[in-house]
Amino acid sequence: MIVYGRRSSINVQKVLWVLGELGIEFRRESIGGGFGGNDTPAFRAMNPNGLIPVLRDGDIIMFESNAIVRYLAARYGAGSLLPTEPHALAAAEQWMEWSQTTLAPPASALFMNQVRIPADRADRKAMADAEARLQTVLPIADKALAGKAFFAGDDLTIGDIVFGCLRWRLDKLDWKQPPMPNIDRWFAALKERPAYKQWVMVPVGRSPEEWAANEKLLG
Ligand SMILES: N[C@@H](CCC(=O)N[C@@H](CS)C(=O)NCC(=O)O)C(=O)O
């Protein structure tokens, strides 16, 4: 098993975290960002988009982080990361989609403008809009987690992976977080998991310079 992608990428982190949870051995190549390597003919033969992550599992080569998460969970985590019980499966799939389509856009706008873009060029309106949107949507997820350990019930599933990666980054940004006691409890539990600690709880930085330094450090 080979993962192509730098550790600082949130999309790579999803895959690494899942591999860690499943106890799958793999090797990784630092590709993308300052490392480059994602615009070579060899890389584009694996992913014509020139983006990370790419997974190679035997003769299977694939891109799109959420598809990789689903593939790994189906092949190696059926009944755990990918629930087989229909209610849990429905919840896991639902929250994975919600995290990607509802939570990720404002979280990413805040992250880009606070970390990746120099402060003097940051889009203040986009940041304010993102913060307002987060304050609207996070309570929805908080309510859903009431009385549950994870989004699909008692166990970690694919429904927690995208949100879990975003949650770590959101925690490192400067914004007014709404009260979210259930998310806080869930986040505290994630922070106890060895694979989350290893692959997701990495330094983010607060400027393009800090970001670049962390990227180099992480590999
Ligand atoms: N939808 C794709 C998006 C992939 C993507 O945008 N990857 C970014 C890193 S998070 C990338 O490759 N950026 C170029 C680079 O790192 O050089 C996925 O989820 O895998």
Local mean pLDDT, 10-residue blocks, the chain (219 residues): 98 98 98 98 98 98 98 97 98 98 98 97 97 98 97 98 98 96 98 98 96 96
d(CA 108, CA 116): 10
Residues forming CATH 3.40.30.10 domain(s) in the chain: 2-76
Phi first, then psi, for residue 161 (nearest 5°) are -70, -50
Helix (H) or strand (E) holding 193: none
Q: Which residue has the tokens 């307002």?
A: 132
Pocket test for ligand 1, best of 3, 4, 7, 11 (most atoms within 8 A of CB): 11
Residues forming CATH 1.20.1050.10 domain(s) in the chain: 86-202
Of 69, 77, 136, nearest to 100 by C-alpha is 69
Instruction: Report pLDDT for 135.
Output: 97
| Cβ-based neighbours of 214, under 8 Å, separated by 6 or more | 8, 202, 203, 204, 205
Instruction: Report pLDDT for 167.
Output: 98
Contact 30, 7 (CB under 8 A): yes
CA-11 nearest atom, ligand 1: 10
CA-52 nearest atom, ligand 1: 12
State if pTM tops 0.95. Answer: yes
Instruction: Report pLDDT for 217.
Output: 96
Q: What does CATH list as the number for 2-76?
A: 3.40.30.10
Q: Which fold has domain 86-202?
A: Glutathione S-transferase Yfyf (Class Pi); Chain A, domain 2 (1.20.1050)
Instruction: Report pLDDT for 175.
Output: 96
What is the crossing angle of helices 158-172 and 65-76, to 10°?
140
Going by alpha carbons, the residue nearest to atom 12 of ligand 1 is 51
User: What separation in Å is there between the alpha carbon of 149 and the centre of ligand 1?
Assistant: 30
